[in-house]
Structure 1
Amino acid sequence: MSSFVLQRLLSFFITLAVTSVVVFGILEWLPGNAAQVILGETATPESLAAMEEKLGLHQPALTRYVEWAGGLLQGQSGLSISYSTPTLELITERLQVTLPLAVLAMLITVGVAVSLGLYAASKHNTSADMGVMTLSQLGLAIPNFWLAILLILLFAVQLQWVSAGGFPGWTEEAGGGLLPALSALILPAVALAAVQTAILTRVTRSAVIESMGEDYVRTARAKGLTKQQVLWRHVLRNAMIPVVTIMGLQFGNLITSAIVIENVFVLPGIGRLIFQAIANRDLVVVRDVVMLLAAMVIAINFLIDILYAWIDPRLQDGVNT
């Protein structure tokens, strides 16, 4: 197990390093001068020179990359041009909204999708199975931003159960609290989870149906176990590999998809931050946020690899032999 983890850990750091080069290089090689883009066409040569020095553009690209990457490794970040605040502080503050939103959406996705997938598989080729598949097809067809608008119209405008947008904060001192904060996140989480739930339901159903046709299932049934006992004790764990794969990809997708949903619900998360940074031409914030999102996706994939080995130790054979 240790060699398996070490190999995945090495792959994680290599992927992270390559990603940092790509993120830095894309913003570095964009057409035009970053200082010119920030100040506009009417900027004077003196102001351009001052902005280039502030951004460090007077230094070679390699020097700037080493300083940026080294600063991130030490927990230091660049200074936002718009806010005159370290980007790490801005990102940490906004993650207090984005991460709980993504986690809540993931919990909804897993809870609903695994339950529906198991139910549909246990009722294979029946009207109940067809009903679940029809419902999942509907979920795939509805864009999450459009569903978000419908949810606002129904629950915020018509029923007035929740607010149409905004975030009160996690503390009572800020005018919010745990329950008000969760109430503000529930509709965005449902909007985020809808499409992912439909996908995971179909994957769970297919994986369970495939596992139910294996020899060990027939052997377990021959020993006297009921269908439900076989499903929960034997089938589910063996069907979890493709399900976990999709779950890992979905969590990364939920974090990035939150960028759109946060703007629909006016939530002060990472999505709002990057939109404001782009509007303000704050390339320092854009670079650090993009790197953060990429690093989170890479970290999630690393954790999924480790979870694979726990679910099915046979996956370590290629490393240990």
Structure 2
Amino acid sequence: MSVFLLRRFATFVLTLLVASVVVFAVLELLPGNAAEVILGDTATPESLAALNAKLGLDRPPLARYADWMGGLARGETANSISYDTPTAELIAERLRVTLPLALLAMALTTVLALGLGVYAAARHNKLGDVGVMAASQIGIAIPNFWFAILLILLFAVQLQWVSAGGFPGWTEDDGGGLWEGLKALVLPAVALALVQAAILARVTRSAVLEVMREDFVRTARAKGLSRRQALWRHVLRNAMIPVLTVMGLQFANLITGTIVVENVFVLPGVGRLIFQAISNRDLVVVRDVVMLLAAVVVIVNFIVDVLYALIDPRLRHA
């Protein structure tokens, strides 16, 4: 098990290094720079040169990459060009919205997908199975931003149960509270969870059906277990490996998918932050946020690999 974890951790570190090189190189290849955006078209060459020197944009790319990676290793980040605040503080503040939103959407996705997937597999080729598959196909076809607009029209405009957008905060000092904050995240979480739940339900159904055909399931039934008992005690656990793979990818997609949904609901999260940073040509923020998203994907995949080994002992021995 220790060798397995060591190999996965080495892959984790190497992937992050490669991702950092790709992120930095892509942003370097973009035309223009932040100094030109800040000073505008009427800026003189002297003022552009002075601002480039102040922002460190006149230094060689390799030196700037080394400074960036060295700062991340020490837990330090550069100041945002637009906000003149360390990007770590900006991202931490916005994660107070994005992370709960992604966790809530993932919880909704898991409950809906596992329940519907197992239900459809248990009623294979029956009306319940056909209904779930048809609903999941519609869910996959609907873009989450369009579904978000429909939710706003129904629950905010017509029924007026929730506000159409904005975030009141988690504390009363911010003008909100725990319940008010959760209410503001319900519709965005549902919009994010729709497509992911539809995909995961189909994967769960396929995995459960495949395991149900195995010999050990027939043996469990022959020993007297009912279909329901065999399904929940034996089938579901063995079907979880492909399901966990998709769940890991989906959580990363939920984090990155907030960019569009947060702008629809005007939520002050990481997605809205990166959108504003791109508009302001604040590449310092863009670089750190994209690196954070890449790290989330890699970390989630690492956790999924560890869960594989816990679920299936054959992987540990291999």
TM over 0.5: yes
Distance (whole Å) between structure 2 residues aligned to residue 208 and residue 12 of structure 1: 30
> Structure 1: which 5+ runs fail to align?
none
Distance (whole Å) between structure 1 residues aligned to residue 266 and residue 107 of structure 2: 22
Distance (whole Å) between structure 1 residues aligned to residue 275 and residue 33 of structure 2: 20
Counterpart amino acid of 1:207? Answer: A
- 1:252-291 aligned at under 5 Å gives the runs 252-291=252-291
**1:279: how far off?**
1.2
Structure 1 residue aligned with 2:78: 78
Moved more, 296-305 or 36-45: 36-45
- 1:1-321 aligned at under 5 Å gives the runs 1-318=1-318
Counterpart amino acid of 1:293? Answer: L
> Structure 2: which 5+ runs fail to align?
none
Identity of aligned residues (%): 71
Q: Deviations over 1:136-191 (max 9, x none)?
A: 11111111001000000100111111111000101111111111000000000000
Q: Deviations over 1:205-259 (max 9, x none)?
A: 0000000000000100010110011001100000000000000000000011110
Distance (whole Å) between structure 1 residues aligned to residue 127 and residue 192 of structure 2: 28
Work out whether residues 120 and 205 of structure 1, in 8 Å CA contact, stay in contact via their aligned partners in 2: yes
Where 1:57 maps in the other structure, the secondary structure is coil
Distance (whole Å) between structure 2 residues aligned to residue 156 and residue 103 of structure 1: 23
How many residues matched?
Answer: 318
Counterpart amino acid of 1:195? Answer: V
Work out whether residues 37 and 280 of structure 2, in 8 Å CA contact, stay in contact via their aligned partners in 1: no
Work out whether residues 259 and 270 of structure 1, in 8 Å CA contact, stay in contact via their aligned partners in 2: yes
Counterpart amino acid of 1:94? Answer: R
**1:38: how far off?**
4.2
Where 2:83 maps in the other structure, the secondary structure is coil
RMSD of Structure 2 on Structure 1 (CA) = 1.1
Moved more, 50-59 or 15-24: 50-59
Work out whether residues 203 and 242 of structure 1, in 8 Å CA contact, stay in contact via their aligned partners in 2: yes
**1:317: how far off?**
3.4
Q: Deviations over 1:92-113 (max 9, x none)?
A: 0001000100000000000010
Distance (whole Å) between structure 2 residues aligned to residue 278 and residue 33 of structure 1: 11
Counterpart amino acid of 1:67? Answer: D
Where 2:23 maps in the other structure, the secondary structure is helix
**1:30: how far off?**
2.1
Distance (whole Å) between structure 2 residues aligned to residue 43 and residue 186 of structure 1: 46
Counterpart amino acid of 2:71? Answer: G
Distance (whole Å) between structure 1 residues aligned to residue 33 and residue 20 of structure 2: 21
Counterpart amino acid of 1:229? Answer: Q
**1:73: how far off?**
1.4
Counterpart amino acid of 2:85? Answer: T
Moved more, 276-285 or 26-35: 26-35
Counterpart amino acid of 1:272? Answer: R
Counterpart amino acid of 1:287? Answer: R
